[in-house]
Amino acid sequence: MKPVKPMTWKPEGSAAQMHGIADYEFVRPLGSGNNGRFFLARRPQRLPVDVEYVAVKVLSAESTDTAFRRAVRELTAFSTVQSPHLVAPFDAGQQDGSFYYSMEYFPAGSLAAPAQPVTTAEALRAVADAARAAAALHAAGIVHRDLKPGNVLLHPQGGKLSDLGLAQVFAEGVTITGMGPLDSVEYIDPAVLMGGRSVPATDVWSLGVMLHRVVAGTGVHGDLPAGDGLLALRRVLSVPPQLSDRLPGPVAALVRDCLAPAGERPSAATVATRIDGLA
């Protein structure tokens, strides 16, 4: 990888400039995720990993001591799950009220924003890997809560599941319209949008919607209105999911099973196996 020059980041609505956080030197922004932003950063010498660059997420919400402790507990839980399909966090901390954590950097981008065009076969392989990662989390008693194309990072062998749902740690009790960008809404089980608890079956719903998106190129709720979170939320809650005619029969059957009532959905491990069979 060629060396890159550091880049100054100016937070929206602020005159202050930010070159990094703690001992992480930011190189450039990588994009936004729920309740925060990602940056490419140089690996601090203290980190015992053999890489030159890491990805750092800085949470935009003010992290109180209670939120910080909860986030650290959640990251610790995620880091104990052994799966080659899950992005493991390297480090976490808090500076000037901002919580951050670092993890592997994937230059190929995500399913939502790939660095190069992705074939359907490659997308299916990445979704299957995300399902395997979700299955490993579920076996450990953890629900991801934010499965979507932007959180499936690409590499030559498939994909890795990222962004550990920490937005809900920092925004507990906040309505979904205040929790993140529109790209999250269509992937969330409507039962959760209505106030229900996140369980493994809600991750399976998200996998089904994501599978529909990467194969058909559309969401199960059509095109959501851009820039109007409340209207998008109303659409998701009021319009039943519709499967595209462009889905091959076996893909449509799997998506339909993922969107079935919670007690009738397959496990994430079964979803991965069935996607493998589609190839």
Token representation of residue 91: 């480090």
> 129, 146, 163, 203: which one is catalytic?
146
Is 96 considered catalytic here?
no
Which residues are tagged catalytic? Answer: 146
